[in-house]
Amino acid sequence: MPLEVIYVTRHGFRSNWLVDPSTGAYSATIRSPTGGPADPALTAHGVDQAKELAERLLVVDPPIERVYSSMYYRCLQTVEPFVRKAAETDKTPGRRLLIRGETGIGEWYGAADFEHPVPAGHDVLQPLFPGLLDPEYEPLVVPTRKGEGIDDLHERVAKTMDALITKCDREGVRAILLCSHAAVVIALGRVLTGNMPESTDVEDFRAFTCGLSVYRRRKMASCDTGIRPGAGTAAGTAAGAEIGGLKNNGRTADLASEKGPELGWRDGRGVSGGWDCHLNSDCSHLSLGEERGWRFSGDESFKDAPAGQSMLDAGAELGVVVEGKAKHPGGEKRDSRGKL
């Protein structure tokens, strides 16, 4: 049975970090459980969001059979409540969910002359998430440590999804969950549907904290629901993703670039035959609704940043925070950027 449905979520509210683009030095006021300054934990509100997301994920149809997550702490923390509750409710032998750490859907850092951080390895993460990580899983794609331009990011995500979908097809997996970061969530929508806009900074696929997006395979959608596969928008310029080497323990191996074959996902084709978006970062399961959305700003590099001036984390500096339709209990106003 081929893969039919891909569920996508962004991690919950997190704390921020600073980076000095002239030196590549990262820093944070709140210490990360992994010790990495660019690897913050969720805020208390983010933890609440993750719990609400878990309740939604437990009742999706078809049910989730595999969980793939960025290896950054905030993403693992976001899917943890769901994976633990799924284990409590499904005692079927051999069907216990484990989190597969996939660096191919890891954080996006703009191109730089310095090396960006990498997520912690399994030796650090296993004690923090006991019994939840799949120690046997090998990441399919690893981003270069020097960062990526926007086209490079999309090609990296396309390469990851092409390999991941092929693997799931071969192993008879029907539905999977991906947990990632704002830029990757947007890129996932574009490479799965093949709808790459002429201007990358448009707000097409949304990325609210703990929002849920659902993509269904076009041949499945056409046969089961009569929905006609969507046509693509204007094509962008194809570019190969620069891939570096990174082992599970987090040590850099080989940073030489590799450019694989063009996957031909643009012009509305989408990877692996194409997918239709049925939910676009839906937040109806969250008590405070849409918060801390994000879109690309068009700036894709740290190389021209002012020297000696620290910048708020890459996610905020390389994009634009999008105001969502947040719910305000008691009329209280809430900043969609959240509490740090």
Instruction: Please spell the DSSP secondary structure of 4-39, one letter per residue.
Output: -EEEEEE---B---EEETTTTEEE-SSPPTTS-TT-
**pLDDT of 236 above 80:** no
Residue 276 — φ and ψ, nearest 5°? -105, 140
**pLDDT of 68 above 50:** yes
Q: Which two tokens stand for residue 119?
A: 């997520």
Q: What is the pLDDT confidence band of residue 326, given thresholds at 50, 70 and 90?
A: low
Residues 6+ apart with CB under 8 A from 262: 238, 240
Q: Which of 32-46, 56-70, 211-225, 324-338 has the highest mean pLDDT?
A: 56-70
The 10s digit of each residue's pLDDT in 116-141 is 999 999 999 999 999 999 999 999 99
pLDDT at 1: 81
Residue 116, CA distances (Å) to 8, 85, 152, 280 in order: 25, 34, 15, 30
Higher pLDDT, 130 or 321: 130
* Range scoring the smallest mean pLDDT among 164-168, 227-231, 305-309: 227-231
Higher pLDDT, 209 or 18: 209
Average pLDDT, rounded, for the chain: 81
pLDDT at 133: 97
**pLDDT of 262 above 90:** no
Separation between Cα atoms, residue 180 and residue 6, nearest integer Å:
13
Parallel/antiparallel/unpaired status of strands 99-101 and 66-69: parallel
Residues 6+ apart with CB under 8 A from 181: 10, 11, 70, 72, 75, 106, 107, 108, 315
**pLDDT of 337 above 50:** no
- Are 82 and 54 spatial neighbours (Cβ–Cβ below 8 Å)? yes
Exposure of 94 in the CB half-sphere (CA atoms within 13 A): 0
Parallel/antiparallel/unpaired status of strands 18-20 and 25-27: antiparallel
CB atoms within 10 A of CB 16: 16
* Range scoring the smallest mean pLDDT among 84-93, 163-172, 234-243: 234-243
Separation between Cα atoms, residue 286 and residue 270, nearest integer Å:
30
pLDDT at 301: 63
CB atoms within 10 A of CB 52: 17
Percent of the chain scoring above 70 in pLDDT:
74
Name 26's bridge partners. 19
pLDDT at 23: 78
The 10s digit of each residue's pLDDT in 80-93 is 999 999 998 876 76
pLDDT at 304: 59
Helix (H, G, I), strand (E, B) or coil at 173: coil
Average confidence (pLDDT) over 227-247: 31
Residues 6+ apart with CB under 8 A from 77: 11, 12, 41, 42, 46, 47, 50
